[in-house]
Structure 1
C-alpha cells in the first residue's frame, strides 16, 4: 500500500478523496471547498491518501501541533470496510508518530457508534470525559457534541483545553 500526499485541490487524487470524504461524513462535518483550500495553505495541515495499485483505499487528514496530532478526518473506502484495512492504516499512522494523537467520534447512541468506539479502542485510543462541542464547519449549522479520544493515555484537562483552543483558533479559523 502506498501513501500519497495530497497538498492541493488540483492533485490527481483529490477527486477520489473528495468523493470518499463526501460519502463518509455528514455535510455539517465537512469543510467547504474554500475551507479546504485555506487548510492546504496551512503548514500544520496534512492530507494523506492511501492506495493499492490504482484502488483508492482511504485517507487521513490531520493537523500537527507541538504537543499532539489531531486527526480531523479518517475514512476507508466503504467497499473495503470490515477487512482490517482501517485498523492497519490507523495503526501504521500511530506507529509513525511519537506524539499523542487526538480525534473525535460521535456520541454513543446505537450499534454503529458503539462499534466505532470499540474499533478505536482496539487501535489503542482512550476515551476522555470532557464535555466537547466541535465548532460548526458551516454557518447554517450549530456546533455538535463529540467524544474526544486520545492515544497513549487519557489527556489532562490542561491538554484538553490546549486542544480545544487550537481547534477553535487554528483548525476551524
Structure 2
C-alpha cells in the first residue's frame, strides 16, 4: 500500500471526490472545492491509497509534532472487505507520532458499531470523554461523536488539550 500525497490538481481527485461525497454526510465534511484549497498546506495530507498500481481509496490526515489526526478515510466501496483499510492504517501507523486520533460516529446502528470495532481491531481505543465534532461552517451545530486514539488519552486534561488543537487547527482555522 502506497500513500500518494496530492498537493495540487491531480487526476485521482475526481474519483476521490465521488468517494468523499458518498461516504460522508454533508455536515461531516467540507465542500470539495474548499478541500482542494487546503492541498498546499504542509500539515494537511490528502493521500490517494494505491495498491498494485490502482487507486483503492483515500485518507486525509493532519500531522503535527505529536499528533496525527485522521479527518477522513475511505476505501473504494467495491473493494471493501479485502483488508485494504487495515493495510492503509498499518502504513499510517508507521509515522512517528505520540498520538493517532480519529473521530467516529456514536454507535447508534450496526454500521456505527462495526466501524468502531474495525478501528479497535487496528489498535485504537475509545476515549471515555464527551466530544463533538466542530462544524465545518460557522452557524452549523457541532455533531456528537467519539474520539478514538492510539494510545488512549490518560486524562480529561490531555483529551481537552487535543480536542482544542483539533478544533482550532482543522475547523476554526478555515472558517470563511
Is the TM-score greater than 0.5? yes
For residues 20-50 of structure 1, the C-alpha deviation after alignment (integer angstroms, 9 at most, x for no partner) is: 1111101111112343144223221111111
Aligned length: 172
Contact 1:2 1:51 in 2 (8 A): yes
More displaced stretch, 146-155 vs 134-143: 134-143
Partner SS state of residue 167, structure 2: helix
Q: Is 1:4 the equivalent of 2:4?
A: yes
Partners of 1:37 and 1:81 in 2: how far apart?
25
Q: Displacement, 1:141? A: 3.2
| Pair 66,156 (structure 1): closer, same or farther in 2 beyond 3 Å | farther
Regions of 4+ moved over 4 Å: none
TM superposition score normalised by structure 2: 0.88
More displaced stretch, 66-75 vs 139-148: 139-148
Match in the other structure for 1:166: 165
In angstroms, what is the RMSD of aligned CA positions? 1.8
Alignment of 1:128-143 (within 5 A): 128-139=127-138, 141-143=140-142
TM superposition score normalised by structure 1: 0.90
Contact 1:127 1:154 in 2 (8 A): no
Match in the other structure for 1:124: 123
Partner SS state of residue 17, structure 2: helix
Unaligned runs of 5+ in 2: none
Partners of 2:155 and 2:39 in 1: how far apart?
30
More displaced stretch, 89-98 vs 111-120: 89-98
Partners of 2:54 and 2:134 in 1: how far apart?
33
